[in-house]
């Protein structure tokens, strides 16, 4: 399988969301997400999308590690929450729940976060992870507390 070049993130139109997205692009997503090869494809409070290679993120049986799926889900849900919160606020994860549906041995996993609720102090996102055939791999729900920076 040929490896695809990393796509450039699609930035939101809203100036405040663009400022947060550009800060994320400048500072990165954090050491763990970078070590796992997570790549942002689209960013926004209403929809954030990223992908992660299976290679390097497996458990001893050669399958995608459930913890890797959780890291991908929390990473993009937190980014989407931060975009909703705005540049003067931060998003802190409160709860993450994941249900794993399918084993994956190779390729890429794509995750899409969409909001369930967006409040002043809490944001909750539904995150769907799919394989390259668009089959469900994992569904997750992330709740973040929003507070002043």
Cβ atoms within 10 Å of 141's Cβ, excluding its own: 16
Encoding tokens for residue 131? 């394989």
**CA–CA distances in Å: residue 48 to residues 1, 43, 58, 148:** 26, 4, 24, 22
In whole angstroms, give the CA distance from residue 118 to residue 30. 24
As beta bridge partners, residue 51 has: 39, 110
- Whether 3 sits among the annotated catalytic residues: the reply is no
**CA-angle at 66, arms to 47 and 41, nearest 5°:** 25
Q: Which of 22, 34, 42, 74 is catalytic?
A: 74
Catalytic residue numbers read 74
């Amino acid at each position: 399988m040929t490896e695809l070049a990393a796509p450039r993130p699609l930035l939101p139109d809203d100036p405040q969301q663009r400022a947060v997205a550009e800060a994320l692009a400048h500072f990165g997503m954090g050491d763990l997400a970078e070590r796992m090869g997570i790549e942002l494809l689209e960013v926004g409070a209403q929809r954030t999308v990223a992908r992660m290679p299976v290679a390097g993120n497996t458990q001893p049986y050669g399958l995608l590690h459930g913890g890797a799926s959780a890291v991908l889900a929390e990473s993009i849900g937190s980014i989407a929450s931060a975009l909703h919160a705005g540049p003067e606020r931060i998003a802190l994860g409160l709860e993450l729940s994941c249900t794993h549906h399918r084993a994956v041995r190779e390729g890429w996993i794509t995750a899409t976060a969409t909001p369930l609720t967006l409040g002043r102090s809490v944001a909750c996102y539904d995150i769907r992870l799919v394989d390259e055939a668009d089959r469900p791999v994992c569904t997750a729900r992330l709740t973040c507390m929003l507070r002043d920076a």
